[in-house]
Structure 1
Amino acid sequence: MANILVVDDEHGIRELLSEILNDEGHTVELAENAAQARAARLRERPDLVLLDIWMPDTDGVTLLKEWSSTGALTMPVIMMSGHATIDTAVEATKIGALAFLEKPVTLQKLLKAVEQGLARGAIRKPAPPTQFGVVQTESAALVTAVLPEPAETGPQAHQDFGLDKPLREARDEFEKAYFEYHLAKENGSMTRVAEKTGLERTHLYRKLKQLGVDLSRGKRNNG
């Protein structure tokens, strides 16, 4: 499962791509303009971005240039457009785009491009935020995520994650433990967990469901 950001000013296209990618098991964040895309990129740290070229205000190529010039192009980006010229596609590729999809995007081409993009995820991402206290052992065999302990009787805040696992599997384990911790800490309150983690409630519910998090666990632990 990967985190994929879809940036397109057309509501129908956003919803269609979201439905397809969700069916494939991915977590999807939607943005309808460059401003939302910037915020989503910082908030979600996507594994892949599907970026429309023609958008009001700031177009996709300009946003791609911005990410490239500021060192924020740390993930594969696939450009999309129904009106782009070959020159535009070539320009986007030179800037750093991985591929170009012509609208209307067919299911086969979309899934193939996404698969190739995720496979090219060799582009290294910045280190995770230090607020989680991630500490790596000398043997690099385990990474211990040390979460803040609210009280002596609070939820478990230490867990080991094997670094020899595939990245997606290890990340899913960490995210599941992270959300379970905050659910327990907030006594199962989705509102407080949403505020704490910076996610919208609808996106939080979807993410917890995909990770297989038991939503009643927090209340049982603190009840």
Structure 2
Amino acid sequence: MANILVVDDELGIRDLLSEILNDEGHSVDLAENATQARNARVDNVYDLVLLDIWMPDTDGVSLLKEWATSGMLNMPVIMMSGHATIDTAVEATRIGAFSFLEKPITMQKLLKAVEQGLARNSGNSAGSNGNNNAQTQAAGAPGQGATTPAGKPMAAGNNGGSTHNGTAGASMSPAVMVAEVDQGPMSHQGFDLDRPLREARDGFEKAYFEFHLAREGGSMTRVAEKTGLERTHLYRKLRQLGVDLGRNKRG
């Protein structure tokens, strides 16, 4: 487990990165501007920092330069931006940034960059050549294919029910179907079919994801693989359905 600081003025990005990194087993602190980031850096030791470039008080490149000149840049810093130029990325790397990620950030690039940064910080990378390779592989120049791929649409309705649910209960009213699954704490689930289609579908999807979260011990990575959804889409879907992620997360 690593201690990671996420610095970004957008609440949605902070929350999403925090959820993903927490799910990977890391401890995450959040800062919405350079002032909070400075205070967090003084009070804590971090293994890695994710730092947004464009912020309202002090931009990320200036903060990076502050840390470098004051001797506080002793951890890998991954810069993030949706509007930076190649010159900005080169400047940040020259100051001491480990790599650069362009928004919107794919989960694959995020996790790869974090893994490489932590490997360098723990001394597992092969010197400066390894660092340069990590920057080349994880960053990608601004404007080059950093859009988040859309996840596969979940198949709602008959296919979802027949694949993951067992035999229907022996006694049921016309309005209620009782489905049984073969294992896990969600072994009995009732669905009220006497409702509008959208409500019934949402109820089924919530139970479907809760079942898989429980069966996979709260691992979002394995749930994404099982359900065929890209992780960013999966997080949004679970929040939309009101699934309690905190309750299902692994310890």
Q: TM-score, normalised by structure 1?
A: 0.55
Map 1:1-223 to 2 at 5 A: 1-122=1-122
In 2: Cα distance, 1:100 partner to 1:17 partner: 15
Q: Which moved more, 1:37-46 or 1:85-94?
A: 37-46
Aligned length: 127
Tell me what 2:212 maps to. none
2:210: which partner in 1?
none
Distance 2:114 2:44 in 1: 17
The list of structure 1 runs, each at least 4 consecutive aligned residues, that deviate by more than 3 angstroms after superposition, is none
Cα distance in 2 for partners of 1:39, 1:28 equals: 15
Distance in structure 2 (CA, Å) of the matches to 1:122 and 1:112: 15
Question: Displacement, 1:41?
Answer: 1.0
- Distance apart, 1:122 and its partner CA: 4.6
The RMSD of aligned alpha carbons is: 1.8
C-alpha deviation, 1:57, in angstroms: 1.2
Equivalent residue of 1:120, what SS? helix
DSSP 3-state at the match of 1:29: strand
Provide the TM-score with structure 2 as the length reference. 0.49
Q: Which runs of 5+ in 2 are unaligned?
A: 124-245
Structure 1 CA distance for aligned equivalents of residues 94 and 106 of structure 2: 24
Q: Which amino acid aligns with 1:21?
A: L
Output one character per residue of 1:141-181: Cα deviation in whole Å (capped at 9) or x when no partner.
xxxxxxxxxxxxxxxxxxxxxxxxxxxxxxxxxxxxxxxxx
State the distance in 2 between where 1:24 and 1:43 align.
24
Q: Distance in 2 between matches of 1:11 and 1:100?
A: 20
SS of match in other structure, 1:40? helix
1:107 is displaced (CA, Å) by 0.4
Q: Is the radius of gyration larger for structure 1 or structure 2?
A: 2
